[in-house]
Structure 1
Amino acid sequence: MSSDKLKSRSEQEWLRGFLAHHPELCLGKLSGLDPKWAQAFNEVTVERHFELLRQVMDEHGIPWEHVYNMDEKGIHANFKLVTAIKCMSADGRSLKPAIIFARKDICMSQNGGTAIAQKISDAPLLLIYGGHSSHASPHIVELARQHNIHLFCLPPHTTHKLQPLNIGTFGPLQEAWVKQCDGFVNQHQKEMDQKDIV
């Protein structure tokens, strides 16, 4: 018997023993993209989305500098969820992020408050966001109306491709967050606490 087979058998025995001692764990296979997401991201849906976006911008005279995109990312620290909310303009300007802790406390940037969207004219602002139900509560819709902000929801199950912040900001954030947590654990010999996220 080759040493490779012995090693493989030894690893398999170790894994079986480990799983026997930890019944709360189970083996599984990675799943691909959820079929409803794959089905929703199609040429007709995408074309319709951009057609509606152009219509709204043309109808209300909204320049690209007034188009903002908002998204959120859940970050885990010591098994507690913290939500980071980010908003950027189509021309690359970034508002300061907000961090929401499980207790519903909100932490803004260190210099206080959040940046205000910069307007180049009196034209309304357009805020593009994902379709999560918490994003368009009646209170948010009313606030947007009062401040001359048009809300524009991305098509359902397409944010994996159409949400710019999901792809350009939160993807790299996730990679950086994992490295930061690993460095913190190596340095302090404990998991990062919620208060250390900001």
Structure 2
Amino acid sequence: MKYFGFTGHALNKQTIAPKVESILPENRRRKPSKSWIRRFLQRHHKLVLARGSGLDPKRARAFNKPVISHYFTLLGDIIKQHDIPWENVYNMDEKGIQLGGGRKGDATKYFFSREDQAKYQLKSDKLQLITIVEVVCADGSSDIMPCFIFPGATMAPEWFCEDGAL
């Protein structure tokens, strides 16, 4: 969340009130009313109240501009140093799908910048997941099919044979 400067630590209607109260002069210190919050949003068109997506605190600490910039600098150096062609550079990603349907999320809405595509609020959840894995080559080609990983499932024997032959 760029507007308040703290990604993952979004303000909601309840948490913004003490912050507003703390910046008022001593003689005018009081909690902002519901109408103040509505008027605040009308004055600040870049803000919107929305439900945030859960973001594990460990992931939030690891995903920041200096860490990501350092990673891509190192990756670029290795690719140049070893003269690795783009057809040998792959990206693998995974997506977890929660088993047993969804859980009802917290109905609390937080202040986010309208420009932010991802609206995250720190949240830790331990869920049983089905994992979908996809792999794409940096040159745009990919002959690796997506796969599904189920918890407790037996591994396919062809994974351990050359060219899929049993």
Q: TM-score, normalised by structure 1?
A: 0.33
Comparing both structures, which one devotes a greater share of its residues to helix? 1
Q: TM-score, normalised by structure 2?
A: 0.38
Q: Higher RCO, 1 or 2 (CA under 8 Å, sep at least 6)?
A: 2
